Amino acid sequence: MSLAILSLSILLQFTAAGLAFRLIWVTGRKRAWSLIAVAMLLMGVRRCVTLYRILSEDLVIQTDLSAELIALTISFLMFAGVALIAPLFTDIQKANKALKENDKRFRAFIDNVPALVSLKGLDGRYLFVNNEYEKNFDLTPEKTEGESTTTLFPREVAEEFALQERYVVDTRAPVTQEHIVPHADGNHIHLCTKFPIVDTQGEISSIGTISTDITDRKQAEEDRNVALVKAEEANQAKSEFLATMSHEFRTPLNAILGFADILSNQYLGPIGERKYLEYADDIQSSGKYLLELVNDLLDISTIEAGKQNLVKEDVSIENLIQDGAHIIFEQAKKKNISFTTDMQDGLPTIQGDPRAVKQILLNLFSNAVKFTQEKGDITVSAKLDNGNVAITVLDNGVGISKENIALLTDPFFKAHQEPYISDQGTGLGLAITKSLVDLHDGTLDIISEPGKGTTVTVSLPVG
């Protein structure tokens, strides 16, 4: 019985020693596990010697059975303890390995972020920085981590960072600010976001920072603003030039028209040669057309310069449509175009400038006649629609493609460039109309299809 106990004790002690040595390799803690391993090893060797002497010399075992049982129990307990602890430390080793791999991946990810990324303790010292610090400031992690902002950046910049960080701690929320930070090639503008990092207890343990260099973006914004100002100045100069030239053209044009009218109507007596009357009519017709162009240029320049003054009053749309239809009727009659009106009874008045509203209507009527073929149809209707008076001009003329509809209200745009379709005009009519509608807080909508016609709707708010 004692021989079996002795053998089992030896097995347990050597096994425990082996496990202890394995734990030294797994945990790296040599001192504690070495003592246990050596103790188990020595106890096992001692009992091996005893067992050898018994077997080789045929000695009779003269040992206290209770002592052997105690030794066996101790060996078993040590074996069991080491055997139970070993798997735990193996799991710890695996967890540590996984943690190191995750940390390595996280570091690789952060180092490739195209922004300055750092982590600071509440004492203001850097705990972590990514590679962007080295690229921007020649600050490696070895130089930076453990140092404070005041030792790495100028005092003014460090104070701004510290103030922002205090605000983060006070508000417990992210804070974004712009900072001017010195670089080797001069000052750069950084958009810096600092945010709190909280622990499992909900307390702020550190402060994270993500800082992006926005110098190029700021410069682009400044360049764009300068370009916009210059463009506005150029547009203003153009409008003033057009207004000045229009005024200068009107005086001699009025004189030409006046003398052409005298010749055409023979106020001072008959003209001997009939051909002269035809020339006088041509002069008067061309002069009127040129005067219309000059007036359009003057209108668009006045609107663009913001000098269009409206005198608003109660305006009857019904009366203005009838007046406009009467004016345009002769022009439509020359092309055998049917021009009809259809107005809802009892239309309310609108608040508008009578001259400007009349110009809106005449421009729309004139355009419809201009781009409707002979024997075509034009219908003008007006009705109340959601608190607005909606005026619709419908024709079955040449129409326009969808891609050009948005351009119709651009100054000088002409929808039809083909010689057999093009008509006289500068392309300012709808641009002037759209501007006048906007000044009345109204809307202008155009629906058109090539070869089928165009529908233009102007909505003006009821006064």
Which tens digit of pLDDT belongs to each residue from 381-416?
Answer: 999 988 899 999 999 998 888 888 877 776 655 554
User: What confidence category does residue 417 fall into, taking pLDDT thresholds of 50, 70 and 90?
Assistant: very low
Q: Which pLDDT value is given to residue 236?
A: 74
Q: Is 349 exposed, middle or buried (0-12, 13-18, 19+ CB in 10 A)?
A: middle
Side-by-side strand order, sheet with 204-213: 126-129, 116-121, 204-213, 186-198, 175-183
Higher pLDDT, 364 or 236: 364
What's the mean pLDDT when you consider all of the chain?
78
Tell the residue number behind the tokens 């059975």, with chain if given: 65
Packing angle of the helix pair 429-439, 274-304 (nearest 10 deg): 40
Overall average pLDDT of the 233-254 stretch: 71
Q: Is 225 exposed, middle or buried (0-12, 13-18, 19+ CB in 10 A)?
A: exposed
- Beta strands 377-385 and 338-343 are parallel
User: What confidence category does residue 81 fall into, taking pLDDT thresholds of 50, 70 and 90?
Assistant: low
* CA gap 461, 463 in Å, rounded: 6
Overall average pLDDT of the 218-227 stretch: 91
Around 277, how many Cα atoms within 13 Å sit in the side-chain half-sphere?
A: 10
* CA gap 1, 68 in Å, rounded: 10
Q: Is 334 exposed, middle or buried (0-12, 13-18, 19+ CB in 10 A)?
A: exposed
DSSP state of 125: B
| Least-confidence region, from 37-41, 144-148, 152-156, 377-381 | 37-41
- For 3-40, the pLDDT digits (tens) are 565 565 656 555 655 555 555 555 555 555 555 556 65
* CA gap 438, 353 in Å, rounded: 12
Tokens at residue 166, please?
């205090």
Segment holding 20, helix H or strand E: helix 2-27
Around 332, how many Cα atoms within 13 Å sit in the side-chain half-sphere?
A: 25
Residues 414, 429: contact at Cβ < 8 Å? no
Tell me the β-bridge partners of 453: 449
Q: Which pLDDT value is given to residue 115?
A: 93
Is the pLDDT at 126 greater than 90, yes or no? yes
CA-atom Rg of the chain in angstroms: 48
Tell the residue number behind the tokens 């001069």, with chain if given: 186
Domains of the chain by range and CATH? 2-109 (no CATH), 113-213 (3.30.450.20), 220-304 (1.10.287.130), 313-461 (3.30.565.10)
Segment holding 27, helix H or strand E: helix 2-27
Is the pLDDT at 130 greater than 80, yes or no? yes
What is the CA 451 to chain-centroid distance, rounded?
Answer: 40
E-state strands within 214-251: none
Q: Which pLDDT value is given to residue 379?
A: 94
| Predicted model pTM | 0.46
| Least-confidence region, from 144-153, 255-264, 380-389, 436-445 | 255-264
Q: Is 16 exposed, middle or buried (0-12, 13-18, 19+ CB in 10 A)?
A: buried
* CA gap 194, 279 in Å, rounded: 82
Tally: H helices and E strands in the chain: 13, 12
Tell the residue number behind the tokens 């496990």, with chain if given: 19
Segment holding 369, helix H or strand E: helix 354-370
Q: Which pLDDT value is given to residue 422?
A: 38
Q: How many residues does the chain have?
A: 463
